[in-house]
Structure 1
């Protein structure tokens, strides 16, 4: 197995990126992705684990080999038709969101403008306009907000969320992304 780490976002030529994308415009994926080629398989494993050989639980999924080199595909360019999800990965994302969503600075900032009730956590790959609800496949889940504070442990996953859509690989806020990378590396 050969692991290739693809540097994206701030790591790639110092590019700045707005959180989210719009149709027809490509922004580099903001997080580091490790790709592990397996000559005996017709797919490349995709992971946030920066080790040479990520454990099975740390693999997000597999990018099928097509006429496009999977090593040249950035997280924003991944498409559902070329991706197979690792079914054991999404529960890890849920655990991280349940444990740490109340600590995330971006989510806390959103909650400060939200009095009480359930607040959606939108996927950064395709954030909805302010005051709007995102597409079901782009809503990670919801947290309970009470008096402008996220209630610890209140995260409820959205089972319609997809790790890869036509807008690319999922994107958590920076704080939660780091918690997920740490969690996956510890498995």
Structure 2
């Protein structure tokens, strides 16, 4: 005759040393990761678009002595800026936001922007700021032409979208793309021209490229980090 024996439940016990490390990100910028700067004697932090501690010195966005970073506490990484411009030059003409700008600029329903400007649609237009000093400071930079003539559109940081019909501040402009009279990018890629005025961080916050360009930038940084 068989005897039923109680089966003891085996409890999975994790080793005491097992820990789950949390990854810190910037408030309002969940795609920017924060790491202690082990190379510095004082307290500072390394900022990166990659979720693991950078080992290649070209990868970090920069270093900040406090959080959240400010223009005074932050030191930008020139190598990162070069990579940023490399990625924008290669992919800006494929960004849906820039394609939309180019088409709107030459549309018969587009505004006459002979003084230079950027046409925004969708979420960017709805997010435009109402401050009185919003974008006029960059009017001398040039921008989109009037409807049907072509011209230039600006590739800009989304931390401070400009008013409708205005162009961004120079410190927010990555560069510009040339558009023909049909709303297509000249030579297929828009002949991207860096602005030379872009700043990684301003009073409006740290770098915030479009989702499309950010994805391309992260891919490139992964490639560099793995080399």
* TM-score, reference length from structure 1: 0.76
User: How do 1:48-63 residues align onto structure 2 when only pairs under 5 Å count?
Assistant: 48-63=49-64
Structure 1 residue 7: Cα displacement: 7.0
Compared CA separation, residues 54 and 125, structure 1 to 2 (3 A): farther
The CA deviation at 1:54 is 4.4
Report the equivalent of 1:84.
75
**Equivalent in 123, 129, 139 of residue 163 of structure 2:** 129
Classify 1:80/1:3 alpha carbon distance in 2 versus 1 (closer, same or farther; 3 Å): farther
Runs of 4 or more, structure 1, over 6 Å off, are: none
Structure 1 partner of 2:35: 36
Matched residue SS, 2:72 = helix
In 2, the alpha carbon distance for the partners of 1:121 and 1:99 equals 12
Identify unmatched segments of 5+ residues in structure 1.
9-27
Q: Report if aligned partners of 2:26, 2:34 keep a CA contact under 8 Å in 1.
A: no
**Bigger share in strand:** 1
TM-score by length of 2: 0.64
Higher RCO, 1 vs 2 (CA within 8 Å, ≥6 residues apart):
1
CA 1:176 to 1:55, structure 2 compared with 1: closer, same or farther past 3 Å?
same
Contact 1:35/1:45 (8 A) holds in 2: yes
How far off its partner does 1:53 sit? 3.3
Distance (Å, rounded) in 2 between the aligned partners of 1:46 and 1:117:
36
Match of 1:120 among 147, 154, 171: 154
Matched position secondary structure for 2:153: strand
C-alpha distance after superposition, 1:12-33 (max 9, x if no partner): xxxxxxxxxxxxxxxx23x411
Gaps of 5+ in 2: 1-20, 107-149
| Corresponding residue of 1:25 | none
Asked if 2 retains the 8 angstrom alpha-carbon contact of 1:3 and 1:52, the reply is no
